[in-house]
Structure formats: C-alpha cells, structure tokens
C-alpha cells in the first residue's frame, strides 16, 4: 500500500459565503513530486494556505493528516515545525534587506543573545551554495533578479528542516533556462528525500517533472493522474472541462499603414547614468499588426516599453517617436495615456494594480474621463462598464467590489488587462500578458488581442514564452543586451533561429 506523507480529506473553505474549496481531496506519497493544476481561481493557493496554517484550523473543515498524524495548525509556524514549508505565489522577500537578512528573518542567528552577522552570512552562503546561487549574501534583495529571488526563497526554506516543500507557481516569472534549473533543483531535493508539491500553469514542465498530477476545478478534486496517464490533453480537459484543440485563436486582419514608429532611441540607466541601457532602437508597428519583442531576461525589453510609456524608465532619453507620422513629445505617463499609449506591466503586484482597492476602481483608474462629467464619477456608468469587462475577461470573483488582493493570481492579471482595454489605447504594449494565467484564459486573452488588432490598433507583445510570441505575432524583433539583433516575419522563423538572435553576443556591447 502506498505510503502517504500527506492526506487532505474533504477540505471546505469559504470566503464570505463563497466556497473557494468545496470538498477537495489530495494524497501525496512520500518522496514524490506532486503537481497541483487547475484554472485561475480553482482553489490551488487556498488549498496550500489551508495546509500550511495560513488559514488556521477552525476556518476550514476537513482533515489533514501529515506523516500519520492529524494536524490542526493554528499558524504558519506550526506547519513549519513539522517540516512543511511553503513558497508563496507572490514572492515575499523584503526588498531592502540583504539576502542573508531575508533568509534568517524571524530565525535570526545569534551568539550570546546578540545577532551574529558573521555567522548569518556564513550560514547563508552555505544555503545559497545548496541551491546553486553564487551571490554575496550581503547584497540587497532589490539588486538581484526574480529568478535569483526565487532561489533565495528556496534557500530560506532549506534553512528549516523541510520535509514537504510547496512551491506556488515558482517558474511563472522565470525564463526557460532559469525554470529548467529550478526544476533540476527539485529533482535534487527529491534524491535527498524531500517531497514537493508544485503548482504551475506551464503544463510542459508539469509533465516533465511530476510523478503525479492532481487536477482541481471549482474547488473540487477532478482526478489524480499517475506517471503512466499524465498527458497535456488530459490535464487540460480536466482543468477546463472540455478539449482545447487550438492554443492560439486565428487572426484574420488586414494590416494597414504604420501607426507607431520609434527611431534612434537611446536610453541611459536611471541609477548609473553613464550606463547606456538601450542603443539605437528602431521599430514600427502597423495598424492591425501584432509585433513581438523577444529577448532574455535583462535584454532591456521592459525598459524599452517603459521608456516609451511616458519616460517611466531611464535618463537622457534621445530619439523620436511618431504616431500616424506626427512627432510625439511625451514626458509623463498621463501624457502617454492621453496620446493613446498603454503599457501592461509585467509585475502586476508592485506596478500594475492597487491591491487594496476593488476590481471596479482598478479597472476604471486609467479611464476616469470616460466615466465622469465635470470631474464627478458617474458610478452607474462605471459599474456597467466594469461589469462588462469582468464578464468579457471572465474574472472569477464575488463581484466588482471584491478587493483585488483577494483575487487569485491569474484573475488579478485579468484585472490589469481590463484596465488598459478600457482605456481604449491605439498602441498597446503588453509585457508578459499571460503570466500566471491558465491555458483556457490564455486563449481568451489572445482572442482579446485579436479583437484589438481587428479594430486597426497596434499591439506589441513582450514575452519570455517563445511559443506565445510565435503563436501571436506577425513580426518579431529580437533583442539582446539593449540592442535589436534582428527583425523577422513570423512565417520565416523557427524557435531555434529566434533564440539564436536573442542570445547573440554583441561584441561592442552597449557602451
Ligand atoms: N482572502 C480572500 N477573500 C475572498 N476570496 C478569496 C480570498 N482568497 C481567495 N479567494 C477566492 O477563492 C478562490 C480561489 O482562489 P485561489 O487563489 O486559491 O485560486 P488559484 O487556483 O490559486 O488560482 P491562480 O491560478 O489564479 O493562482 C477565488 O475565487 C478567489 O477569488
Ligand atoms: Mg494561486
């Protein structure tokens, strides 16, 4: 008989009358890597929060048995004591503390009652070595990449006696390379006897790594697949309740004249003002066209979009920008918006949304002129419009007054998209538009992109997922180290060729 390290039985969790979990069962065997999948809002993060004591016993019903022992955790530290460590969907490191301070936050290393920084740094270094991260533990978290932050979270987990490691979408913000390294690390941990539960919308990696997959839909367990019957099709069918034959909706749009053009765009860093971040960028977008910018992390894609979007990144910006042939002089975000430019941030939590406000307020914030008269908001109009977007984007919530912080990750992303759709831009930059979004909802977002293109607008997609770039874009610019290294028509390029352009080593570099 299988030896379960964890059995969760008939878990029910309600938020103000709405059942987020409606009798979920989950059984995890000792030493396995178990994937948890389901649509946005299905209840995955909630289930893991129940397990780790974020939602204390009493706030849910059902049983949790861990290592043969019935557990009634009251708080996170109770589950940690048993060796259950969770790394949340939205990273929770303190940006302006050092890596080592973060690793030992709440578990400070002391000698004779005084924090021992030497000891902390030494121990932190050993933990960082374990996860293969070669950085100085005294560096601030704000200075390292998201992939590195993810590894710091894992190092932090390793500082505790972990038996069951829970990772909630650990690779959502990582590129293929970094994701692969992280998954390798999980395999390493498996060899050391650590059991893992991983939540992910990247089904290819789920198939790669998982020994078992449990599918959740609408707060209920659909089924658990074992190694011999795991397949993408079966997972998708279980998740969305139907087959998804095509991942990318067809676009049938006539491409028109150039609507937007950027010429000789040079941008210096904001902090290190002698450092050139973007060099001589030239590109254009035609009406009805969807272009893509492909590049590795750090290539400068986000910086480019931000510098165009009201100079919200960079210093000493030179070059020209034209809309319909007219020179644009844009120096602030409000000016960018009023000139019909929109930018969906890659980081919804810190830059894209106001988390403590409702869906209503978040969606209407960039379009107040559309719903107000004499500077007074017409709430009736706002409600009607926001409701329309909630429906169109299928945002799972109790209503438009639900606070955005309490939405599931993927549904937060849809709110961020709704905000910019409502602003009805002519030129829309979408930076990682489907980060953390489930396969079905991805299709819906792509359909919305197609609608925008069909209206004769211009769309620029920035994405780390090459299949997405190749599935959605008419033309692609490849970028490496702040320089455009190539421009290709979609039909003429393969993923490998694109990768080659993206990793091109520019000898002269950006000087
Ligand atoms: N604190 C909360 N208050 C109210 N509702 C909540 C709260 N937390 C979660 N919910 C609701 O519970 C449901 C499940 O959310 P959960 O975050 O578990 O989804 P998920 O499966 O992790 O989705 P995603 O893939 O988008 O991260 C959602 O409908 C969400 O709106
Ligand atoms: Mg989640």
Between the CA of 280 and the centroid of ligand 2 the distance, in Å, is: 40
Ligand 1 pocket: which of 407, 416, 417 to mutate (most atoms within 8 A of CB):
407
- Closest ligand 1 atom to Cα of 408: 17
The residue whose C-alpha atom lies closest to atom 17 belonging to ligand 1 is 408
**199 lies in the same domain as 233:** yes
What value does the CA radius of gyration of the chain take, rounded to a whole number of Å?
A: 24
Half-sphere exposure of 421 (CA within 13 A, CB side): 25
According to the model, what pLDDT value does residue 45 have?
Answer: 95
Look at residue 37 and tell me if it is in a domain.
yes
Across 78-82, average pLDDT: 94
For residues 64 and 6, give the distance between their C-alpha atoms in angstroms, rounded to a whole number: 7
pLDDT of residue 272 exceeding 70, the answer is yes
488's enclosing H/E stretch is strand 483-489
Strand pairing report for 195-199 and 33-38: parallel
Across 469-488, average pLDDT: 95
According to the model, what pLDDT value does residue 434 have?
Answer: 92
CA dihedral 211→216→220→221, nearest 10 degrees, is -20
Ligand 1 pocket: which of 20, 217, 349 to mutate (most atoms within 8 A of CB):
20
Q: How far is CA 339 from the centre of its chain?
A: 28
Binned at pLDDT 50, 70 and 90, residue 510 comes out as very low
pLDDT of residue 508 exceeding 50, the answer is no
C-beta separation of 121 from 200 below 8 A: no
Ligand 1 pocket member 40 (CB < 6 A): yes
Task: Please give the structure tokens belonging to residue 378.
Answer: 């017409």
pLDDT of residue 1 exceeding 60, the answer is no
According to the model, what pLDDT value does residue 429 have?
Answer: 96
pLDDT tens readout for residues 53-66 = 999 999 999 999 99
**165 lies in the same domain as 281:** no
Mean pLDDT computed over every residue of the chain: 91
For the chain, how many structural domains are there in total? 3
**45 lies in the same domain as 190:** yes
pLDDT tens readout for residues 151-160 = 999 999 888 8
Between the CA of 345 and the centroid of ligand 2 the distance, in Å, is: 19
**275 lies in the same domain as 285:** yes
**219 lies in the same domain as 263:** no
- What is the residue-wise DSSP string for 342-378? EEE-S-IIIII--TTSBHHHHHHGGGHHHHEETTEE-
According to the model, what pLDDT value does residue 243 have?
Answer: 81
> To the nearest whole percent, how much of the chain has pLDDT over 70?
98
Look at residue 70 and tell me if it is in a domain.
yes
Ligand 1 pocket member 45 (CB < 6 A): yes
For residues 402 and 16, give the distance between their C-alpha atoms in angstroms, rounded to a whole number: 11
**194 lies in the same domain as 293:** no
Look at residue 247 and tell me if it is in a domain.
no
Look at residue 249 and tell me if it is in a domain.
no
> To the nearest whole percent, how much of the chain has pLDDT over 90?
69
Across 492-503, average pLDDT: 90
pLDDT of residue 368 exceeding 90, the answer is no
pLDDT of residue 330 exceeding 50, the answer is yes
According to the model, what pLDDT value does residue 509 have?
Answer: 47
Q: Give the residue carrying structure tokens 């449990």.
A: 214
Of the three residues 396, 424, 452, the one that is the final residue of a domain is 424
Ligand closest to CA 409? 1
pLDDT tens readout for residues 126-151 = 999 988 888 999 999 988 888 889 89
CATH number at residue 299: 3.40.50.300
**313 lies in the same domain as 443:** yes
Look at residue 489 and tell me if it is in a domain.
yes
The residue whose C-alpha atom lies closest to atom 19 belonging to ligand 1 is 41
Other CB atoms within 10 Å distance of the CB of residue 279: 19
Class of residue 207 by CB neighbours under 10 A (exposed 0-12, middle 13-18, buried 19+): middle
For residues 203 and 365, give the distance between their C-alpha atoms in angstroms, rounded to a whole number: 34
Ligand 1 pocket member 412 (CB < 6 A): no
Ligand 1 pocket member 434 (CB < 6 A): no
> Which domain range does residue 349 map to?
345-424
Which one is predicted more confidently, 112 or 51? 51
**376 lies in the same domain as 484:** no
Ligand 1 pocket member 200 (CB < 6 A): no
Binned at pLDDT 50, 70 and 90, residue 271 comes out as confident
Q: Give the residue carrying structure tokens 């780390």.
A: 464
Ligand 1 pocket member 41 (CB < 6 A): yes
**37 lies in the same domain as 169:** yes
Across 456-472, average pLDDT: 93
Look at residue 246 and tell me if it is in a domain.
no
**399 lies in the same domain as 349:** yes
Ligand 1 pocket member 15 (CB < 6 A): yes
pTM of the model: 0.86
Ligand 1 pocket member 219 (CB < 6 A): no
**322 lies in the same domain as 277:** yes
Of the three residues 405, 424, 443, the one that is the final residue of a domain is 424
**362 lies in the same domain as 222:** no
C-beta separation of 449 from 430 below 8 A: yes
pLDDT of residue 7 exceeding 80, the answer is yes
What are the Cα distances from residue 134, in Å, to 125, 157, 186, 460, 509?
Answer: 9, 17, 18, 35, 24
Between the CA of 451 and the centroid of ligand 1 the distance, in Å, is: 28
Look at residue 245 and tell me if it is in a domain.
no
C-beta separation of 325 from 508 below 8 A: no
Of the three residues 383, 408, 424, the one that is the final residue of a domain is 424
């Amino acid at each position: 008989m299988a030896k379960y390290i964890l059995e969760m039985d008939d878990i029910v969790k309600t938020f103000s009358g709405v059942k987020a979990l409606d009798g979920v069962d989950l059984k995890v065997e000792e030493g396995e890597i178990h994937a948890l999948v389901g649509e946005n809002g299905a209840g995955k993060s909630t289930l893991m929060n129940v397990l780790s004591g974020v939602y204390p016993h009493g706030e849910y019903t059902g049983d949790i048995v861990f290592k043969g022992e019935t557990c009634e955790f009251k708080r996170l530290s109770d589950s940690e004591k048993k060796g259950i460590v969770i790394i949340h969907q939205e990273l929770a490191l303190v940006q302006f503390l050092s890596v080592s301070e973060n690793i030992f936050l709440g578990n400070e290393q002391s000698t004779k009652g005084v924090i021992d920084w030497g000891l902390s740094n030494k121990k932190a270094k050993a933990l960082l070595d374990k996860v293969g991260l070669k950085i100085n533990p005294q560096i601030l978290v704000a200075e390292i990449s998201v992939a590195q932050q993810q590894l710091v979270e894992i190092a932090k987990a390793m500082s505790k006696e972990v038996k069951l490691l829970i990772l909630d979408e650990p690779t959502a913000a990582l590129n293929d390379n970094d994701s692969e390294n992280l998954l390798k690390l999980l395999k390493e941990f498996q060899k050391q006897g650590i059991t893992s539960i991983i939540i992910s919308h990247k089904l290819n990696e789920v198939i790669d790594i998982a020994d078992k997959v449990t599918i959740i839909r609408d707060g209920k367990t659909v089924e658990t697949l074992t190694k011999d019957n795991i397949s993408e099709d079966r997972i998708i069918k279980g998740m969305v309740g139907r087959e998804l034959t095509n991942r990318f909706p067809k676009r049938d749009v006539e491409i028109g004249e150039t609507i937007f053009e950027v010429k000789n765009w040079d941008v210096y860093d904001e902090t290190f003002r002698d450092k050139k971040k973007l060099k001589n960028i030239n590109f254009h977008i035609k009406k009805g066209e969807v272009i893509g910018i492909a590049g590795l992390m750090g290539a400068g894609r986000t910086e480019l979009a931000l510098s165009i979007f009201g100079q919200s990144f960079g210093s000493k910006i030179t070059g020209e920008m034209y809309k319909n042939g007219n020179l644009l002089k844009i120096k602030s975000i409000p000016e960018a918006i009023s000139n019909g430019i929109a930018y969906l941030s890659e980081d919804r939590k810190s830059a894209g949304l106001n988390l403590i406000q409702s869906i209503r307020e978040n969606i209407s914030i960039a379009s107040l002129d559309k719903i107000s008269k004499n500077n007074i908001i017409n709430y009736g109009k706002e409600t009607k419009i926001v409701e329309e977007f909630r429906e169109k984007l299928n945002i799972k919530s109790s209503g438009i007054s639900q606070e955005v912080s309490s939405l599931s990750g993927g549904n937060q992303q849809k709110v961020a998209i709704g905000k910019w759709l409502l602003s009805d831009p002519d030129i829309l930059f979408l930076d990682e538009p489907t980060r953390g979004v489930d396969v079905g909802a991805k299709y819906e977002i792509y359909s919305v992109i197609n609608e925008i293109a069909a209206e004769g607008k211009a769309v620029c997609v920035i994405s780390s997922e090459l299949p997405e770039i190749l599935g959605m874009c008419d033309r692609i610019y490849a970028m490496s180290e702040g320089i455009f290294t190539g421009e290709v028509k979609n039909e003429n390029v393969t993923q490998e060729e694109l990768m080659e352009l993206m990793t091109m080593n520019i000898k002269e570099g950006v000087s």
